[in-house]
Amino acid sequence: MQTLTVATARRTQLLDVTAEVAAAVEDSDGALATLFVPHTTAGILLQAAGPGASAVATDVEAALERMVDEGWPWDHVHEGDRNPWSHVRTALTASSVSIPLNDGTLALGTHQAVFLAEFDGPRERTIHVVVSS
């Protein structure tokens, strides 16, 4: 297992980590990379990026903020939590994703990228990368 550490800059942010993940699996002998985010207020997802899709990440960020409003009357705050919305936003993403490998490279679609989904930033986050056969 390899562990990547990335820093986010905003409370809600989709951070493209494709290059870091690609470097972690480069030249591996396995057939599948599994990425796992060990956080309850961050997730991992695949989404469009690059030319013609450069605003997709910010659109997803804005949609998640609109769907899960921070101003709602959250019961969880009575337990001392300061960020209940971030847990709900995380529940709408995933804690892990698996990506096939082709000769040690991520077999992503033409416009696909790997994003860390931050919902309680800015913070330093961890992504575990496991390659299996």
4-56 residue pLDDT tens: 999 999 999 999 999 999 999 998 999 999 999 999 999 999 999 999 999 99
Dist CA 39 CA 113 (whole Å)? 20
pTM of this prediction?
0.95
By C-alpha distance, which of 68, 72, 130 is closest to 93? 68
Token pair for 110:
């033409």
User: Residue 86: phi, psi to the nearest 5?
Assistant: -65, -35
**What are the residues whose beta carbons fall under 8 Å from the beta carbon of 50, sequence distance 6 or more?**
111, 113
Fold of the 2-132 domain: Jelly Rolls (2.60.120)
- State the chain's mean pLDDT as an integer: 96
* Helical ranges in 1-133 per DSSP H: 18-25, 56-67, 84-91
What's the rounded mean pLDDT across residues 78-98?
95
Residues of the chain with pLDDT > 90, as a percent, come to: 95
Bond preceding residue 122 cis, omega within 30 of 0:
yes
What's the rounded mean pLDDT across residues 97-115?
97
**Whether pLDDT at 80 is above 90:** no
What's the rounded mean pLDDT across residues 74-78?
90
